[in-house]
Amino acid sequence: MGVSLTKAAQWTSSGTGKLELTPMNQSLLKEILRFVEQLVSQHPQEAEHVFEEPLQWSTTLVASDFKTDYDISDFNVQSHEKDSEGQPLLQLSPPTVHVRNFSQLSKVVHLAADKKLEEVRTCLEENRDTEVKIFGPRFGDIWGREDTQTDLVDEDRAKDSEVKVKLFRLLQNMDKELLSKLLEEISEQIRLDPAAVNNDVESLKQFCSGGNKRVLKSVRYTSDYEFSNGCRAPPWRQVHGEICYLIIEPCDTEDLHITCSNAGVFLNGGIKQEGAESGYERTSDTYTDLLTLLKSRSPYFAEHINQQMATKGKYEPSPRWKNRGLVSPCGKVEENNPGEERSGEIQKKKLRKRASSKMKVERISSQKMKISGGAMTAELSGESSSESEDEEQQLERRLQIKTEMSPEYWQIHKLVKFLKIGEQTATMLCLCAMLELNLMQESCQLDIWDVGGLEVLLNLLDSAAVRCKIGSLKVLRKISHNIVICQIILDMDGLQSIVKALDSPDKDLKALAAETIANVARFRKARRTVRQCGGIKKLVKLLDCVPNLANRSKKQEKDMEVAHCSVLALWSLSKSIKNKRAIDEAGGIPLLGQMLKLPHEHMLIPVVGTLQECASVECYRIAIQTEGMIKDLIKNLSRDNNELQMHCASAIFKCAEHKQTRDMMRTYDGLEPLVSLLTKSNDKSLLAAATGAIWKCSISRKNVAKFQEYKCLESLVNLLTDQPIEVLVNVAGALEKFAQISSNKGTIRKCRGIEPLINLLTETNEALLVNVTKTVGACARDRDNMAVIDKLDGFRFMWSLLKNPSPEVQSSAAWALCPCIENAKDAGEMVRSLVGGLEMIVNLLKSTNNEVLASICAAISRIAKDKENLAVLTDHDVVPLLAKLTNTTDDRLCLHLAEAIGHCCMWEGNRASFGEAGVVAPLVDYLKSSNSAVHYHTTHALYQLSKNPDNCITMNERGVVKPLIVIMGSDDETLQEAAAGCVRNIRHLALAGLIRAPQEIQ
């Protein structure tokens, strides 16, 4: 079958009118260009032949590009050469050019200079049927029909010139050469298996016979032509992996238009013939084979095919179906392996073996889950927080092994058999054949295990033949993407052999071993094994081979590949805390810092990925700062690679806990790139990392000021809705830091950020609730914001969070309530409206968490300013509960406890109650604290307590006067007054003779 010049270049297009600039298309365009240029020099008569219709297209040439042999008027151009009817052979009316022979076409291409390929490409795009325009409709009809071609050409020879016939043959020969070249390239790049499809089709055709018992009406190809590679799909569809197109007519539904490809089979839009321009789009799910598709689409076919299989029992399986337990309709049995059991019996044994293995591995997984859920061993407790329990759960899910065998089962069986008994050459041939299989398919991976291939592959690693080791690792590298295979490799002690291969002088072997380790080390035991057998030191050592970036040789390129695979392995291993320390001890930090300066993104991703994993350890965070890596991380933030940007932002997120890192981010202009990442809202992982980095950088107020210049606050507010929890946690955390600046509180309100924040108070994620309550509390310090919070019932939502079982949520909610109470219009009534609210907050004074106690004391001190609320608090025994807390040494709790006691003393009866409960003496000791805020609130509390004579006696005995006199020298007038008031009350008692006056006030 021949194709036109236009279709020759459409072979790798997407089916549209425009050609894709793929390497394959460019190669074809160059071949067509070469033909046009050679035709003029080698066949001048044929090049002068006038086309039946001119080729016309939009050219890049203008009138000034043409010189001699052309008439130029205004912007139009006409050639001096004309046809028999006086029409110019070339005519340009910008931008359209009309060309009537190859001679003029060659001149146009020549004038295009460096845009030759563009001219040829446009010409083909805009002249869809080039053969019709060159030779006329009759020649177009016989273009690819070799059976009638000779007669028609002879007939034409009598009517038309000999030149036309020769030109026709020249173009046809070129067409065949292009087709052959294209099919060769497709075969090299894409794995197609037309033989398997043809076998399936032949098997299905047998279902179309049998009279009333037939289960299909017809099965036919859309094209009878078969290319040299066995495919029937046109070459420009073969590059998409498509093999052929079928029209199958079931007995109970409409015709099914089916595409068969290397990825499976699926329904298409209705391709009528192979040269159609439309209908290739997929309109259904992709199925593994035709039988499965037909069963899903035709109930009649599914019912009757199952009946035939059940009643006939013995059929000859088609090559694609025999290993799936499916049959074709002839009545014979084919032995898959002569001398062995029949295929059905063998399959049953294998299925039983897999079911048994499945139960065994699930038991192992169950035990691991119990360990992860309960008390961990010392080794397991050394794993990183990044190793979440989800990893083990994922392993358990993956262990749901499919019992279906792959179509390549028996081929794998034979290859493994020869691997066991073959010498070195045979072993290499078997390994090469195994690599031709689809080793990324799970069923193939498990089949290798089933037939004992995994043990053989691991044994090859202990052989002396380097080539066999390399072949074995190439297979292991692929099948180790299956986590079940990884577990089995570990159980077979295969990981030790792989680590041992890192010592080999062969660089290919070292690279493959490192990449396989990267795949296997996806769970704790594997990571621990690599560390215990010295794998981390070996991998770090391989990083030291990174060459100078300038003038790299092939040897250095190999070193780069080894380093790349090694850092991939370290990335997987770095999820363990002990492994992070081992990488550090092996000298990995400076080497990773060196690799961070490389320009290659494929190298940078695992390097930064490893660093961001390790940055959870303090020594790494310090090293990242001191080694100057922050500057490189900032540089890589600007690269157009989402994965690299995500890892860089994650590393910054962890390191920015340190003030020095935050300052570096500002100094090296790293804040603006972080803000720019907020526009990539479709990549949630990147968005989470970027918002996390912004949150931590915002701890420094100078950074917040910079962020404001880049409109970061507005962007963050827009991310408060329709985002994953990870993003929301970080956004809320960042907004809390922004809200520490007064002007930003109003900005959050104006950007309508308060309402989504209040809505988030109903979520259940602890980290999110902590950050949101902090942000709402910071916003509540603005009275206008508080009005909005009250209107949206935010105060009630936050109060309800005091019931949350998490101490962190309880404390953050209590802290947030404090500014709300201070700035609410009628705070007293608002608190009283919460049924049971005051009793609940008093009961929280029984908590054992100091942060909860401090926050509750702070909230009580605000609530107690309202006398009615103070009365209710007193009725709920707030006094004894506060008194029990006074023996604390926590300055933060001391501060807010003293504050709460001072305000509760506004109820006169509470002063005596506090004294009786033993509060006075501990409070006097608070004055020994170095915290001035503790002094402030303690002094006010002592002043209130000193209004009770018995308390004054206790204070005097505890030596309170001397420190109070020192405090009276404070610059704070209210503090001076409180200290002086307390001393005055003690002095009054002394003057009355009730106590002995201290020397300081005598």
H/E element holding 592? helix 588-595
| Confidence at residue 386, expressed as pLDDT on a 0 to 100 scale | 44
Higher pLDDT, 347 or 484: 484
Over residues 416-452, the pLDDT tens digits come to 888 887 678 888 888 998 998 888 888 888 889 888 8
pLDDT at 339 over 60: no
| Confidence at residue 212, expressed as pLDDT on a 0 to 100 scale | 65
CATH for 605-699, among 3.40.640.10, 1.25.10.10, 1.10.10.60, 3.90.245.10? Answer: 1.25.10.10
- Which long-range CB contacts under 8 A does 474-478 form with residues at least 24 apart? 474/431, 474/435, 474/512, 475/431, 475/434, 475/435, 475/439, 475/448, 476/516, 477/512, 477/515, 477/516, 477/519, 478/435, 478/439, 478/440, 478/445
| Confidence at residue 251, expressed as pLDDT on a 0 to 100 scale | 86
**Residue 623 DSSP class:** H
Higher pLDDT, 873 or 37: 873
Average pLDDT over residues 569-593: 92
Over residues 531-553, the pLDDT tens digits come to 999 999 999 999 886 555 444 56
**Residue 57 DSSP class:** E
**Residue 284 DSSP class:** S
Higher pLDDT, 907 or 997: 907
Q: Is 711 left (phi over 0), alpha (psi -120 to 50) or beta?
A: left
Q: Is 294 exposed, middle or buried (0-12, 13-18, 19+ CB in 10 A)?
A: buried
d(CA 111, CA 107): 6
CATH 1.25.10.10 intervals, the chain: 605-699, 826-1001
Over residues 694-735, the pLDDT tens digits come to 999 999 999 999 998 988 999 999 999 889 999 999 999 999
pLDDT at 39 over 80: yes
pLDDT at 894 over 70: yes
pLDDT at 374 over 50: no
Of 930, 931, 384, the C-alpha closest to 610 is 384
CATH for 194-324, among 3.30.2280.10, 3.60.130.10, 1.10.260.40, 3.40.50.300? Answer: 3.30.2280.10
| Confidence at residue 581, expressed as pLDDT on a 0 to 100 scale | 92
| Confidence at residue 186, expressed as pLDDT on a 0 to 100 scale | 67
| Confidence at residue 677, expressed as pLDDT on a 0 to 100 scale | 93
Confidence band of 20 (pLDDT split at 50, 70, 90): low
d(CA 416, CA 444): 13
pTM of the model: 0.61
Q: Is 224 exposed, middle or buried (0-12, 13-18, 19+ CB in 10 A)?
A: exposed
Which of 405-409, 413-417, 816-820 tops mean pLDDT? 816-820
Q: Which range is least confidently modeled, 337-341, 487-491, 843-847, 913-917?
A: 337-341
**Residue 287 DSSP class:** B
CATH code of 826-1001, in short, is: 1.25.10.10
| Confidence at residue 378, expressed as pLDDT on a 0 to 100 scale | 33
Over residues 208-235, the pLDDT tens digits come to 876 666 788 889 988 887 887 788 888 7
Over residues 290-322, the pLDDT tens digits come to 888 888 888 888 888 777 655 544 333 333 333
Higher pLDDT, 647 or 1000: 647
CATH 3.30.2280.10 intervals, the chain: 194-324
| Confidence at residue 824, expressed as pLDDT on a 0 to 100 scale | 87
Of 779, 833, 778, 772, the C-alpha closest to 804 is 772
Over residues 189-209, the pLDDT tens digits come to 566 778 878 888 888 888 887
Q: What percent of the chain has pLDDT over 90?
A: 37
pLDDT at 85 over 80: yes
| Confidence at residue 80, expressed as pLDDT on a 0 to 100 scale | 85
Confidence band of 328 (pLDDT split at 50, 70, 90): very low
Average pLDDT over residues 934-951: 91
Of 560, 610, 621, 616, the C-alpha closest to 588 is 610
With beta carbons less than 8 A apart as the criterion, state whether 683 and 642 touch: yes
